[in-house]
Amino acid sequence: MSIPMQWTPTHGEPYRPVPYRPERMPAEESLARAAELRERMGRRRTVRQFSAEPVPEQVVKDAIACAATAPSGAHQQPWTFVLVKDPQVRRRIRAAAEEEERISYEGRLGEEWLAALRPLGTDGVKPHLTDAPALIVVFQQRYWLGEDGVRRKHYYVDESVGIAVGMLLSALHLSGLAALVHTPSPMRFLSEVLGRPANEKAFAVIPVGYPAGDCRVPDLVRKTLEQVLVEI
């Protein structure tokens, strides 16, 4: 692998395009790959019961590197991925998350929301936060903060980080690891526990690992292609 060039912030520099000539994939190969990918992606499931078995750390880091290739508004790459391996920090995150979730499930969510969640079997107890061997806490950089205190606007932060998380989930799944997108609400405690700066806002907590031996998932049905695709 070649050593990547170090990124430095850009702002107001002129457009200096470089050639892009990816090798053209024959249509037959495209078709075969697309069908295989569709089948493999179709087998991804959100997992809430994890084995404590460790995962190869480089797989997780490679998946984060894949996520960080996501397109972003003005190529500002407004994301930070905090990889939490320390069991003590995971315990603190779980304790703080469960405190918020208990309030949520005891009524803050409201009847309609609770009814929508019922088929998923979720509740305020979050063992995955300590059982999974790693947590990836994704932060959005709401704005850029230079060392000299210069503060610059970031654009399309939600969209950019959402795309990156989608790519992260795909990379983890295709590398053989299971994950869950957990969104404790409110998430402010994550900045405190993880010591993140004021320009960063927690976006999701993603436990990563192998499913527990007795892992079960809700019997969900996905929309068919015909139900989600409109051709004009």
Site residues (CB under 6 A) for ligand IYR?
101, 104, 117, 120, 122, 182-185
Q: Of the two residues 71 and 119, which places its CB atom closer to ligand IYR in the complex?
A: 119
Q: Six-digit token pair at 208? A: 């990563």
Q: How far is the CB of 33 from ligand IYR (least distance, A)?
A: 31
Q: Of the two residues 122 and 170, which places its CB atom closer to ligand IYR in the complex?
A: 122
Nearest partner of 170 among 50, 53, 66, judged by Cα:
66
Q: How far is the CB of 97 from ligand IYR (least distance, A)?
A: 8
Q: How far is the CB of 124 from ligand IYR (least distance, A)?
A: 7
Q: Position of tokens 């992260």?
A: 168
Q: How far is the CB of 37 from ligand IYR (least distance, A)?
A: 25
Q: How far is the CB of 108 from ligand IYR (least distance, A)?
A: 10
d(CA 81, CA 157): 14
d(CA 116, CA 136): 26
Q: Is 79 helix (H, G, I), strand (E, B) or coil?
A: strand
Q: Of the two residues 18 and 220, which places its CB atom closer to ligand IYR in the complex?
A: 220
Strand partners, 205: 137, 182
Q: Of the two residues 51 and 104, which places its CB atom closer to ligand IYR in the complex?
A: 104
Does residue 159 contact residue 80 with C-beta atoms inside 8 Å? no
Q: Of the two residues 101 and 200, which places its CB atom closer to ligand IYR in the complex?
A: 101
Pairing mode of beta strands 143-145, 134-141:
unpaired
List of residues 6+ apart from 59 with CB closer than 8 A: 172, 175, 176, 177
